Amino acid sequence: MSELAVPTEGRPTLDVVEVRRGAFGVHGSGDTSGFGGLVRPVALPAAAERPFGAVFDVIADEVEAGLTARGGAFSDSVERVLVAHEELTFVVRREHLLTFMSVLRDEPGLRFELCLGVTGIHWPGDLGAEFHAVYPLLSITHNRRVRVQTSCPAADIHLPSIVSVYPTNDWHEREAYDFFGIIFDGHPSLTRIEMPDDWLGHPQRKDYPLGGIPVEYKGATVPPADERRSYS
């Protein structure tokens, strides 16, 4: 959370993950355009309050009952609930992830049989939660989807592996490890999967350069994609 995420009375707190300054990706050079003073917070949708709408309340109730039956509490496991674009997301604390996943899989009212893998997102500006991991799930029985999100700080880049609950996540966790360096504790063999075994670095991190060479065409030179003007 950055300094811009000051809670305002009566309004939901935005989830500010980063603050951008300037324009066109120009930094460190003399700015005469005036655009250099631009400040743009990157805010993800704020936490949702009950009622979540549609069947989302039913899912949340079932999750709460399942967690209670396993000796946990909803408020301990779930940091917040997000509802956006008719999709439900549980933001779960990483230490409760494994229990949470078994609730989703095993409760008769939930029955999320299919886990559709895991993917990382690197938010270098989201201090204390630089690496997010997102697990989309599908229940064929009830024809519902849900998303579970968790995070870990860059200083302690560990998440529990859920391969014991969803074996399909074997390769997906290897991929997230390969691309982001997230270490999934308890994975049977956490090795690189897409990059060569001796590769250095994790390419999907935001501080990992895209690379590329300038291309000459009819005398003019086009710089590589990551050195062109950007509008974000």
230 binds other proteins (CB under 8 A): yes
Closest approach, Cβ 213 to other proteins, in A, equals 14
Contacts by 129-133, CB closer than 8 A, 24 or more apart = 129/153, 130/154, 131/157, 131/180, 131/182, 133/159, 133/176, 133/182
Smaller CB distance to other proteins: residue 58 or 116?
116
> DSSP label at 75?
H
Under DSSP, is residue 44 helix (H, G, I), strand (E, B) or coil? strand
Cis check for the bond before 51: say yes or no (omega within 30 of 0). Answer: yes
Smaller CB distance to other proteins: residue 30 or 200?
200
Cβ count within 10 A of residue 129? 18
- Give residues 140-199 in contact with other proteins (rule: CB under 8 A): 140, 143, 145, 147, 166-172, 175, 179, 192-196
85 binds other proteins (CB under 8 A): yes
Smaller CB distance to other proteins: residue 77 or 139?
139
Instruction: Give Cβ neighbours of residue 114 (< 8 Å, ≥ 6 apart).
Output: 137, 138, 139, 140, 168
210 binds other proteins (CB under 8 A): yes
Residue ranges in contact with other proteins by CB under 8 A: 17-18, 40, 42-45, 84-85, 87, 89, 113-117, 119, 121-122, 134, 136, 138, 140, 143, 145, 147, 166-172, 175, 179, 192-196, 203-204, 210, 225-226, 228, 230-232
